[in-house]
C-alpha cells in the first residue's frame, strides 16, 4: 500500500476504509472485518457516526496488530472546547478499545475550535494522538488555526470528487504542509458517478470501472481516499487500483467534470451554520 508522509513524519496509507452511514453495530463490525481481510490498513470513523464501538471490536477480532492499523476518529461539534474535547477523546479511545489514535480530526469548523485545538495539542504532545487535523475547513479557517497555534494540522479531510475537485484548496494545503484527504470520493453516486460517460470510457481503456478511475485519479493527485461500501466485492474493487496509472490526457479530461461547488452543502452558508447549532439546542 502506498503511503503519504504527514508533516510530522507519520506515514498514512493513501487509501483507507470509511464507515460513514453504517450505524448498525453488527453490519459495521462485519464491514470492517471484511475490509481488513481485503487488505485495508486504515479505518476512518467518527463519534458522530455512532459506530466506534463496532470498529474497535472488529480491529480487536481481526488478529491484526493494532500498530498496523491507521485509525482515525473525529470530534463532533457538541464536544468542542478544551475540557469537552479531552473527555470526547477519552470516550472515543474507550469505545475503540485503544490507548492511542493515529489521527484525530475536528469534524466541523464551528464553535470553540481553538479551545479544542489546544486540547488536541496536549494529547498530541503526550503521544495519545499520533497526528491531529481538521475536516471541512476552508483555507481561511485552516490558516486561522496555523497562525494562532503551535501545531500545524496534519490533515484536512474535505469533500473532493470529480464534480468538486478542490484544486485551489489542494494547492493551499500543500503550500502549508497539510495533507489533503477526500471524503465522498464518489460524491455518494450523485450526477450518476458510476455510469458517467467520460469516467466509463476512460475505465474501458484500462479495463477498470468508473469508480476505480475516480480513486486512481485522486491517488495520482496525492489525495488520501476513504471509499465506503458495505459489499466485500466492492471493497476488493476499490482496493484494486494500484496496478495501473491514468495517462496525463485522462487526468486532464476529468477536470472537465468539475462543477466547482459542493454537491451536498456549503460549510460557509450561514443557514447551514444555524442548522448545526440548532441540532445542539442552541
Which 3 state secondary structure label does DSSP give 71? strand
Q: Which residue has the cell 486561522?
A: 144
**Domain 3-279, CATH number (from 3.20.20.60, 3.20.20.100, 1.20.81.30, 3.60.40.10):** 3.20.20.100
Q: Which of 119, 103, 78, 96 is nearest to 276 (CA)?
A: 78
The rounded average pLDDT for each run of 10 residues, N- to C-terminus, in the chain (282 residues) is 96 98 97 98 98 98 97 97 98 98 98 98 98 98 98 98 98 98 97 97 98 98 98 98 98 98 96 90 66
Judge whether 107 is annotated as a binding position.
Answer: yes
Which of the following is catalytic: 40, 49, 124, 164?
Answer: 49
Q: Which three cell numbers stand for residue 93?
A: 479511545
Which 3 state secondary structure label does DSSP give 282? coil
131 within 8 A of 124, measured Cβ to Cβ: yes
Q: Where are the domains of the chain?
A: 3-279
Q: Is 20 in the active site?
A: no
Amino acid at each position: 500500500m502506498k503511503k503519504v508522509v504527514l508533516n510530522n513524519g507519520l506515514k498514512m496509507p493513501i487509501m483507507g476504509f470509511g464507515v460513514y452511514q453504517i450505524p448498525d453495530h453488527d453490519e459495521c463490525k462485519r464491514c470492517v472485518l471484511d475490509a481488513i481481510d481485503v487488505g485495508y490498513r486504515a479505518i476512518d470513523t467518527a463519534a458522530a457516526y455512532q459506530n466506534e464501538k463496532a470498529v474497535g471490536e472488529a480491529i480487536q477480532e481481526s488478529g491484526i496488530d493494532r500498530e498496523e492499523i491507521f485509525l482515525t476518529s473525529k470530534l463532533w461539534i457538541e464536544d468542542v472546547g478544551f475540557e469537552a474535547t479531552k473527555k470526547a477523546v477519552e470516550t472515543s479511545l474507550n469505545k475503540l478499545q485503544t490507548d492511542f489514535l493515529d489521527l484525530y480530526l475536528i469534524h466541523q469548523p464551528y464553535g470553540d475550535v481553538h479551545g479544542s485545538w489546544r486540547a488536541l495539542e496536549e494529547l498530541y504532545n503526550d503521544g495519545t494522538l499520533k497526528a491531529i487535523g481538521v475536516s471541512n475547513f476552508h483555507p481561511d479557517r485552516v490558516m486561522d488555526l496555523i497562525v494562532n497555534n503551535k501545531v500545524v494540522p496534519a490533515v484536512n479531510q474535505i469533500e473532493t470528487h470529480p464534480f468538486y475537485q478542490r484544486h485551489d484548496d489542494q494547492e493551499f494545503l500543500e503550500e502549508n504542509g497539510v495533507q489533503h484527504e477526500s471524503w465522498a470520493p464518489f460524491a455518494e453516486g450523485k450526477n450518476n458517478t458510476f455510469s458517467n460517460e467520460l469516467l466509463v470510457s476512460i475505465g474501458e481503456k484500462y479495463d477498470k470501472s468508473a469508480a476505480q478511475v475516480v480513486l486512481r485519479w485522486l491517488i495520482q493527485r496525492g489525495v488520501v481516499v476513504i471509499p465506503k461500501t458495505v459489499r466485500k466485492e466492492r471493497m476488493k474493487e476499490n482496493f484494486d487500483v494500484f496496478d495501473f496509472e491514468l495517462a496525463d490526457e485522462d487526468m486532464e479530461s476529468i477536470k472537465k467534470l468539475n462543477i466547482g461547488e459542493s454537491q451536498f452543502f456549503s460549510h460557509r452558508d450561514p443557514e447551514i451554520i444555524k442548522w448545526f447549532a440548532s441540532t445542539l439546542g442552541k
